[in-house]
Amino acid sequence: MDNHPHPTLLTRFGRGRLQRRRSREVVRHLLTDCEDCRRVTSGLLPPAAVPGKGEEIQACGAARAAEYEPAFERSAQAVERMRPVLAAEHTAAHELMRELLALPLDRQREEVTADGSPRSRFHTWGFCALLLDTAREWGFQDPGRAMALAGLGVEIAERLDGKAYGPARVRDMAARAWAALGGAQRIRGDFHAAEASFVRAEQRLKNGTGDLVEKAHLLLLKASLRGNQQRFREAFQLLDRVMSLGRRCEDDHLCGRALIMRGFLLGVANDPEAAIRHLTEGLAKVDPETDPRLVIVAQHNLTLFLAEGGRYREAMRLLESARPLYHQVGDQMSLLRLRWVEGKIASALGHFNEAEELLRGVQAELIERELGYDAALLSLDLATIYASQGRSAEMRRLAEEMIPIFKSRDIHREAIAALFVFQKAAEMERVTLGLIRDVTSYLKESRAAASRRSREAR
């Protein structure tokens, strides 16, 4: 206890779950005027249980510790009283979720934003947590739906009763909700809105309990945004902070998540060998039982970077070993990306008929889901097949089919210019593999350029 108590110890102290001797040790530390540790406990204890500051502490010293014993007892009793309440909220949340999801989107927002009984039944901690988890799940299937649900989560989190749950904990939940919304906006390609959501998340978290894991989760989502913006240096700095937090919490799973994201971003930054090393190390740290979806994402990206590095046989072996988990997780976006990487590998191995069939099916679904940026990249994978076989007529038809992609909400001006160049080259039968590579690179860079321009305009 010479330095800061471990965050887990502070949390258990604040929730009344420490033995009396350990509680006294924490109190002695708090009485040294430790601002950081007191901020952690302030959101967990009733006001009377939080030691004061400055001269009052200096005067009272460690003798004040005994005065807090009754407050600690009250805190523990309060936790015990809240336990059945939270359990009841958790049980009710699933029924409320079924009720909410059965409504049209406009009615869903009316239900959760209306104040007063009986609609205030949605304004509970248990329902808000479940709603944000559900939004995350939809992010892998329908990003638009995920964004709508995360927006509802924000509405509820901002309405939670601070007296019932503790004001600092409510701010933690609001931070979680805004970060979830920012993550969904990122997936949809709306980086400007995502940036604003993360600013709000950080504001709430700054005044929260100081929970290190909440902070780490926010940083992970923000690092993903920075990667999409191709601001890799900032993304890696954020991931360094997550690794530091993971080590402080002795949380290998959290460290594994940071390594997996770093591996993905290294691959995007055209360093596939480093990407493969970090993804492999990250997979060794995460618990597949706790988060099978994370394992799928990591294995998917590892397969992709092995293929892009020319290690096709290794990629195929990994893909086959991971296939049961893809189907176990079962969401449509994961299965869609499975078929996409299968098509890319088949194309690289010269199995063009199989590759075309796979990629055509994925392209149609991406367009239907209004994921224009991904649909454009996949169309260029199809163009690689046609260019390799000298199929000019199919190339022209592909260029015509890409017109709806130009109208997609997540295709920026620079990207449209790149796709226009490809379309004109197809019309003139001048598409080469080199041009396809250049257009693909430009398409990826244009997304980051649009994000930078939006940021500078603010």
Question: 407 pLDDT band (50/70/90 cuts)?
Answer: low
Q: Residue 329 has what pLDDT?
A: 77
The Cα-based distances of 456 to 190, 192, 344, 444, 451 in angstroms read: 15, 11, 36, 19, 9
Angle (nearest 5°) at CA 207 between 252 and 136 = 50
Q: Residue 14 has what pLDDT?
A: 57
Over its C-alpha atoms, the chain yields an Rg (Å, rounded) of 26
CB neighbour list of residue 132: distance below 8 Å, 6 or more residues apart: 149, 150, 153, 176, 177, 180
Q: 369-378: buried (b, 16+ CB within 10 Å) or exposed (e) per residue?
A: bbbbbbbbbb
Among the residue ranges 42-56, 196-210, 261-275, the one predicted with the least confidence is: 42-56
Domain range list for the chain: 7-75, 103-210, 381-457
pLDDT at 326 over 90: no
- Check if the beta carbon of residue 445 is closer than 8 Å to that of residue 389: no
Closest CA to 148 of 106, 195, 120, 92: 106
Q: At residue 244, what is the residue type?
A: S
CB neighbour list of residue 5: distance below 8 Å, 6 or more residues apart: 13, 25, 26, 29, 37
pLDDT at 90 over 50: yes
The Cα-based distances of 26 to 10, 169, 178, 366, 428 in angstroms read: 7, 20, 32, 54, 75
The highest-level CATH class for domain 103-210 is: mainly alpha
Instruction: Read off the pLDDT of residues 214-255 as tens digits, 9 standing for 90 and up.
Output: 999 999 999 999 998 889 999 999 999 999 999 988 889 999
Cα separation, 221 vs 180, whole angstroms: 8
Phi, psi of 402 (to 5 degrees): -80, -5
Cα separation, 138 vs 129, whole angstroms: 14
Cα separation, 248 vs 229, whole angstroms: 29
Q: Residue 174 has what pLDDT?
A: 97
Kindly report the number of other CB atoms within 10 A of residue 120's CB atom. 13
Instruction: Read off the pLDDT of residues 178-215 as tens digits, 9 standing for 90 and up.
Output: 999 999 999 888 899 999 999 999 999 999 988 898 99
DSSP string, 368-400: HTT-HHHHHHHHHHHHHHHHHHT-HHHHHHHHH
